[in-house]
Structure 1
Amino acid sequence: MITRRWVRGVVGGAVAAGLLAGAAGCETPPAPKAAPGPTAAPKKTPTSTPSAPASPAAPEPAPEPCPEGGVRLVEGSGDAVMGLRLEGYRLVNCGTDEYVLEGYPQVRLLDKQDQLLEVAIGHGSAPITSEVPAVDAPPERVTLAPGQTASMALLWRDRITDVTVPPVEGWVLEVTPKPGAPRLGLRLTRPVDLGNTGQLGVGPWKR
């Protein structure tokens, strides 16, 4: 009697253990965790490139002082036809008072070494050429307020009449605007190339 109960108990325990083992064997294993994806590299904060220090602005050149007498001589425009030269020059009132002109300026020419040239200087176009309005106009009274400008013209011919005589070139123009006024000097960018004619015509002051 006792033996049967033990066998039954053993069989029942074995069956129970088998069921538990089957249940344990039939359990679905958990899905494996997904592998981590590629990690994006951290964004670099752009570093600002230090800019070069700004160069200081070049100082503006100091204005040229007004010459004694209150006027300045300036080279103007020119014209050349078949060796005939017509060059204009301007007189600027850079002072603070009115400046009155009348008649013709007194003119001298110097060479590159600032030596005075021997030139026959006359009023008008004769005997250099026929009438030229800029040189042959009648003189008039010209009053320049501060900042205003008057002009005068020079006429000459670049011609070689004697190959044994060196040609003459004036590189400095000296002008006395009116009697008693200080003489003004102007170094030229275009010479007064007289050849060896030795003649220069001067026109009157014009507004």
Structure 2
Amino acid sequence: MLGKVVFVVAGAVLVAAGCSTPPPPPPVPPTVDTPVPGTVEPAGCLDTGVTVSSGPVEAALGHRAIVVTLTNCGAAPRTLTGYPEVRLLDKEKQPMAVQVEHGSSYMAIDPGVAPQTVQPGGTLLSVVSWSNTVTVGSPEAGAYVTVSAAKGEPEQRIVVDTDLGTTGKLTLTAWNSELKH
């Protein structure tokens, strides 16, 4: 009978030891690079003496827009005439086949082309707008907008969720010191 008691006690010790082992840690999910809206790449002042930024996406009745702000971060005044150069990129930072029109939209009135001089520390504004209309086909969405002050100048990439629907079109206002509504 003594042998049975020892066996039972030894078994209880093994069971208790098995219960005290902590469970393995849960698997670590893969890191997902989620860009922060409004982030500008490359950050800072370009060699041309300007930098761009954007506000949040504004929405109204299926229409969307961002205000792009150009800041003169250089030491000399800068004169621009016309429209910024804008491209829409997908999540992989590849150009999307999107038509860019100059003019007014539901979200902003285009002030038209006129020379705009921006002093050091000063700003100019442009509105990039689109419609989220879905008719025939698959909706498209961009993840980045590239902006350069003028044709041929370096661009900066801004993280912007652009839910284009099936329109395939952006509308852009000219640089101006104030917005027209």
Q: TM-score, normalised by structure 1?
A: 0.60
Helix, strand or coil at the partner of 2:55 = strand
State the partner residue of 1:104. Answer: 83
Q: Determine which of 104, 115, 126 is the counterpart of 1:141.
A: 115
Shift of 1:77: 4.4
Alpha-carbon spacing, 1:81–1:65, altered in 2? closer, same or farther (3 Å): closer
State the partner residue of 1:70. Answer: 49
Deviations 1:38-95 (A, max 9, x none): xxxxxxxxxxxxxxxxxxxxxxxxxx64223111111124431110113211011111
Alpha-carbon spacing, 1:85–1:65, altered in 2? closer, same or farther (3 Å): closer
Q: Determine which of 139, 159, 166 is the counterpart of 1:187.
A: 159
Q: Which has the higher contact order (CA 8 A, sep 6+)?
A: 2
CA contact 1:135–1:202 (8 Å) conserved in 2: no
Moved over 4 A (4+): none
* Aligned-residue identity in percent: 34
Asked whether 1:205 is paired with 2:140, we answer no
Deviations 1:11-47 (A, max 9, x none): xxxxxxxxxxxxxxxxxxxxxxxxxxxxxxxxxxxxx
Let me know the Cα RMSD of the aligned residues: 1.8
CA contact 2:50–2:70 (8 Å) conserved in 1: yes
Query: Is there any run of 5+ residues in structure 2 with no aligned partner, and where?
Result: 1-42
Higher Rg = 1
Letter in 2 for 1:139: V
State the partner residue of 1:174. Answer: 146
More helix by share: 1
